[in-house]
């Protein structure tokens, strides 16, 4: 390929010489035609224009620069093309000025800007490659920033992190049914770790610019909404004790992760509580109703409730007793105390979520 590129460069150089020779011949023939046709007055002006045209041939530095950039773009050497464009823009005041109306300068500036657009398109195409590594992605993003496309670069960065996070979550979700009590906490760690990485990358690339900070917060909020939706869709039944335990652990882990993100400038705890509150209210209410039904059934039933071995051991002292009513009452009393403690716990959690009035109405009923 290097040999072929070398041959192409020689061919381009030969074609340039050929064009220059054709222009020289055209200049001579035009001069002879003007003399033969009796237009000597315009000869000097026509010759001057042709000389200008010839001077902009192979020796014109601006043309050489554009050809160099074209070759780099054709070879998809985006970083080298970016450096060449950046250097030319720094060394050419006419490219930075906006008030020059010279047609010559405006033509060159237009050609220069067209190549910047082509380079931008190539950088965006590179960023869309799934096989692009982190180091190459970083270079691509920095390249877009140099071209003045910071918002586009940040959008590509967040899009890449969102894509990776989606793949990670899709691989994790099938295992949710195996660990119903702990999967929300594990899922929250995945979500928050990606948010943290994206925020660090944003800060290192774009600094403390509030525009990018706001975009980062919006993206993090969208990911949190998806996280809460996944927790609801893959969680155990709301009336089960497992759901209450899983939700409690999830809230604890999420708030701990929010504290870590606050040190990076992201404050998401309030939004998280707003998103989780309806889900927690549903779980607490369903568990509260289930426990209340069990309490009423225990009070009305004449049968002995099932107890765990740790409660049966103390009651074994009365096993030889002929007073079976005493043992039955003790078993029922222990079961009622267990359910009452659970209702008390629900009441306290209701209070922490700001639904104290609702809980009181349920207790009163």
Do 81 and 113 lie in a common domain? yes
Q: Is 148 helix (H, G, I), strand (E, B) or coil?
A: coil
Do 175 and 250 lie in a common domain? yes
Average pLDDT over residues 71-91: 86
Do 219 and 255 lie in a common domain? yes
Q: How many domains does the chain have?
A: 3
Structure tokens at 179: 């660990």
Write the Ramachandran bin of 49: left for phi over 0, alpha for psi from -120 to 50, otherwise beta: alpha
CA distance linking residue 28 with residue 197, whole number of Å: 68
Average pLDDT over residues 72-91: 86
Do 295 and 305 lie in a common domain? yes
- What pLDDT was estimated at residue 244? 79
CA distance linking residue 260 with residue 199, whole number of Å: 12
pLDDT above 80 for 175: yes
Is residue 82 in some structural domain? yes
CA distance linking residue 279 with residue 193, whole number of Å: 23
Is residue 125 in some structural domain? yes
pLDDT above 50 for 278: yes
Q: What pLDDT band is residue 43 in, cutting at 50, 70 and 90? A: very low
Residue-wise pLDDT for 299-328, tens only, equals: 666 555 454 444 444 545 444 444 555 555
Structure tokens at 4: 């072929």
Per the CB < 8 A criterion, the answer to whether 202 and 210 are in contact is: no
Is residue 308 in some structural domain? yes
State the sign of the Cα–Cα–Cα–Cα dihedral 170, 164, 246, 278. negative
Q: What pLDDT band is residue 207 in, cutting at 50, 70 and 90? A: confident
Residue-wise pLDDT for 113-155, tens only, equals: 888 888 999 899 888 888 888 888 899 999 999 888 999 999 9
Looking up tokens 């209070």 gives 351
| Residue-range definition of the domain harbouring residue 23 | 1-59
Residue-wise pLDDT for 354-363, tens only, equals: 544 454 444 4
Do 162 and 126 lie in a common domain? no
Do 239 and 347 lie in a common domain? yes
Do 160 and 12 lie in a common domain? no
- What pLDDT was estimated at residue 329? 58
């Amino acid at each position: 390929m290097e040999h072929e590129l070398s041959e192409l460069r020689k061919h381009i150089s030969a074609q340039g010489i050929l064009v220059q020779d054709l222009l020289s011949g055209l200049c001579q023939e035009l001069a002879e035609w003007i003399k033969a046709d009796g237009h000597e007055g315009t000869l000097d002006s026509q010759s001057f224009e042709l000389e200008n045209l010839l001077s902009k041939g192979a020796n014109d530095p601006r043309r050489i620069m554009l050809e160099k950039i074209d070759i780099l773009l054709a070879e998809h050497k985006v970083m080298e093309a970016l450096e060449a464009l950046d250097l030319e823009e720094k060394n050419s005041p006419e490219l930075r000025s906006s008030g020059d109306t010279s047609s010559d300068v405006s033509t060159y500036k237009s050609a220069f800007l067209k190549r910047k657009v082509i380079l931008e398109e190539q950088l965006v195409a590179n960023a869309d490659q799934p096989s692009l590594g982190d180091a190459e992605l970083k270079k691509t993003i920095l390249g877009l920033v140099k071209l003045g496309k910071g918002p586009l670069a940040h959008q590509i960065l967040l899009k890449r992190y969102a894509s990776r996070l989606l793949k990670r979550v899709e691989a994790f979700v099938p295992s949710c049914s195996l660990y119903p009590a702990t999967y929300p906490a594990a899922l929250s760690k995945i979500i928050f770790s990606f948010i943290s990485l994206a925020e660090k990358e944003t800060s290192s690339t774009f600094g403390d610019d509030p525009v990018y900070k706001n975009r980062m917060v919006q993206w993090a909020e969208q990911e949190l909404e998806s996280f809460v939706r996944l927790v609801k869709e893959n969680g155990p039944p709301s009336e089960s004790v497992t759901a209450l335990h899983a939700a409690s652990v999830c809230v604890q882990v999420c708030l701990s992760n929010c504290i870590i993100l606050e040190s990076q400038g992201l404050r998401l705890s309030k939004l998280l509580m707003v998103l989780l509150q309806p889900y927690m209210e549903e779980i607490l209410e369903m568990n509260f109703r289930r426990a209340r039904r069990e309490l009423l059934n225990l009070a009305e039933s004449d049968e002995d409730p099932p107890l765990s071995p740790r409660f049966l051991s103390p009651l074994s002292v009365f096993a030889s007793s002929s007073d079976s009513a005493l043992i039955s009452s003790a078993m029922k009393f222990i079961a009622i105390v267990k359910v009452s403690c659970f209702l008390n716990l629900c009441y306290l959690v209701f209070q922490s979520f700001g639904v104290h009035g609702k809980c009181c109405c349920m207790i009163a009923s």
